[in-house]
Amino acid sequence: MKQLNLAILGQGRSGRDIHGLHLKSDTERFKVVAVVDPIPERRERAAREFGCDVFADYRDILGRKDIDLVVNATPSFLHYDITKDLFEHGFNVLTEKPFVPTVEQFDILKSAAEKHGCKMLIFQQSRFAAYFLKVKEIIASGVLGRIAQVSIQFNGYARRWDWQCLLENNGGALANTGPHPLDQALNILDMYDKMPDVFCRMDSLNVFGDAEDYCKLILSYPGKPVIDLEISSADAYPLYTYKLEGSCGSLKGNMSHIDWKYFKPSEAPEQHNVVGAYYTTPEKLPAYCGETLKWYEESWDGDPQAPFIAAVRIYYDQIYRLFTEGVPHEVRPEQVRQQIAVTREAHRQNPGFDHVFKFKK
């Protein structure tokens, strides 16, 4: 089996605890040959854990010819400059989310990748989370009928005061947490060549910085379900991750448990709206129309850690097939471009959180 050589830039929450964790268990297909981190303790740990070369500056690997893919897990505000430099030196790059904050930056990076013959990958592992795949499976089955609304909540209660609380660092709820549910929402809409209508309201409640920690995002488009997406750090009573409202039933669930119930139209009583008819009880009292439907109820249970383990493996499965068989990755760059466009429009509608990003073209 061909083994791909990887370099990881960054040994923080993502570089070590997500990418590194997976790559340490997938050594038959991937070998970490270099790790870059400015913090000495992290370099020392990486040298022990991976048995690889370690560097303080990513520019120290630019002359190497033995690296198949560079994982850019540096802080968000470094993604653009470093990814661009890597492309210009001929490296294939997998960049963590949030990829870049503006469509213009995206287009520049895509052009650079194409110019230098590089693969541009963007890490969106939640596309392959078991709970999301189950939601999509239920939608596709048709048992819930036509879906009118998809409600998504990535909520909890927490105060925060790290670098991701600052807009200049591409911080905030929508930029940091948002790429997970927003990627899923746009995948459900499945209209990557069109821009949905966007309505957004943001607020800053429990964050020690100038970024938002509350975001209500509504997406709509003719013929598509309404997406009601909420990301909040001020919700001490989170009710669900997903809720679907359909013509034949509903769904509600979180990352580890989902319930859905539906009726079969073929088994439902035939009804007609009779103009001028009045409904009464057997005692001739006023009444609402009513019927008894035969409901079917189902449930699903999954591993709450799956989004951080199994979904990552699926993402890397597709990386391996891309490099060894030429099979395109399901997370395509143009799909992330739409996500960035939606995010920018959301920030534009909230001037207090609309940061102007400066960058070199």
Report, as an integer, the average pLDDT of 207-214: 97
In a domain, 234, yes or no: yes
Which tens digit of pLDDT belongs to each residue from 8-42?
A: 999 999 999 999 999 999 999 999 999 999 999 99
| Residues 65 and 85 grouped into a single domain | yes
Distance CA 89, CA 98 (A): 22
156 and 257 in a single domain? The answer is yes
Q: What is the pLDDT of residue 310?
A: 94
Per-residue confidence (pLDDT) for residue 249, from 0 to 100: 99
Give the pLDDT score at 170. Answer: 95
Tell me the pLDDT band of 284, cut-offs 50, 70 and 90.
confident
**Domain boundaries, position 224:** 128-263+301-308
Confidence of residue 257 (pLDDT cuts 50, 70, 90): very high
Percent pLDDT > 90 in the chain is 91
Give the end of a domain, one of 100, 123, 146: 123
Instruction: Flag whether pLDDT at 305 surpasses 80.
Output: no
82 in any annotated domain: yes
Whether 77 is in a domain gets the answer: yes
Residue that finishes a domain, picked among 308, 323, 344:
308
State whether 88 and 187 are in the same domain: no
Closest to 34 in 3D by CA, of 6, 10, 71 = 6
pLDDT band at 235 (very low <50, low <70, confident <90, very high): very high
**360 in any annotated domain:** no
Has residue 91 been placed in a domain?
A: yes
166 and 78 in a single domain? The answer is no
Q: Are residues 16 and 115 in the same domain?
A: yes
Model confidence pLDDT, tens digit, residues 165-209: 999 999 999 999 999 999 999 999 999 999 999 999 999 999 999
- Name the residue among 166, 152, 212 with its Cα closest to residue 349: 212
- Do 36 and 95 sit in the same domain of this protein? yes
Residue 13 lies in a domain: yes
Domain count, the chain: 2
Q: What is the CATH number of the domain that holds 254?
A: 3.30.360.10
| Cα-based distances in Å from 120 to 9, 94, 144, 166, 355 | 16, 6, 37, 27, 26
Domain identity same for 132 and 116: no
| Same domain for 161 and 87 | no
| pLDDT at residue 65 in the model | 97
Within a domain: residue 274?
no
Contacts of residue 8, defined as CB under 8 A and 6 or more positions apart, other chains included, come to 15, 16, 19, 20, 23, 32, 34, 35, 36, 46, 70, 71, 73
Least Cα distance to 259 among 280, 234, 242 occurs for 242
Domain presence at residue 235: yes
Q: Are residues 109 and 145 in the same domain?
A: no
Which pLDDT value is given to residue 273?
86
Average pLDDT of the chain to the nearest whole number: 96
pLDDT bin (cut points 50, 70, 90) of residue 278 is confident
pLDDT of residue 82: 99
Do residue 117 and residue 189 come from a single domain?
no
Q: Which residues contact 91 (CB under 8 A, 6 or more apart)?
A: 62, 67, 69, 70, 118
- 69: CATH: 3.40.50.720
Beta strands in 186-327 (DSSP E): 197-203, 214-220, 226-232, 242-246, 249-253, 257-262, 296-301
Q: Which of 272, 287, 308 is the last residue in one of the domains?
A: 308
Q: Structure pTM?
A: 0.94
- The answer on 213 and 178 residing in a single domain is yes
pLDDT band of residue 277 (cuts 50, 70, 90) is: confident
- Same domain assignment for residues 259 and 187: yes
What are 49-87's pLDDT values in tens digits? 999 999 999 999 999 999 999 999 999 999 999 999 999
Give the per-residue pLDDT at 289: 85
